[in-house]
Amino acid sequence: MSTHTPAGPARESDVAAIRDLLEESRAAWNRGDGTAYGRCFTRDATDVTYTGTVYRGGAEIGRAHQALFAGFLKGTQLALDITDLRFHGPDTAVVVTRGDVGKGRPGRLGKLATYTVVRERGTEGGGGWLIAAVQKTRHKRLTEAVSFRLQPATRPATR
């Protein structure tokens, strides 16, 4: 994982808390617990799913995911690896992950998600980190490779 943060115990503590938050959301998914999954989000969070559906607010995100967990996502496991974490002020961070969903741990993590996480002061958890927004997309390796070949200037500087 790449983190772009000032050194120091406070930031290390924040990185650990953000990792714990994403692990909590992953564990709730893996248990099929929509209520617990929704509690990982702010009251006004935005979740843009892989299919393009937009859910707003932790309660709605939890409710909708509970229905998904009871349906075609029943028994699925969420794999999630943090690839980048950057702070933007004391109470906001952007986290990029690779992941996927399946009946077991997938061999290739073919989806990307960008999370905006915020520190919520005075909330139920005592001012912990929560997900304010997440947007998911599939990594299309072939399309990306063709694009880089035809337009080399589109290749990111770091990978």
Q: Which tens digits make up the pLDDT trace of 97-137?
A: 999 888 877 677 889 999 999 998 754 444 699 999 999 98
CA–CA distances in Å: residue 106 to residues 10, 55, 85, 102: 34, 26, 23, 6
Q: Which tens digits make up the pLDDT trace of 16-72?
A: 999 999 999 999 999 999 999 999 999 999 999 888 899 999 999 999 999 999 999
In terms of Cα–Cα distance, which of 138, 136, 84 is closest to 110?
138
State the average pLDDT for the chain.
86
pLDDT at residue 12 greater than cutoff 70: yes
CATH architecture observed for domain 2-154:
Roll (3.10)
List of residues 6+ apart from 29 with CB closer than 8 A: 37, 65, 69, 76, 77, 78, 101
Indicate the pTM of the whole model: 0.82
What are the structural domain ranges in the chain?
Answer: 2-154
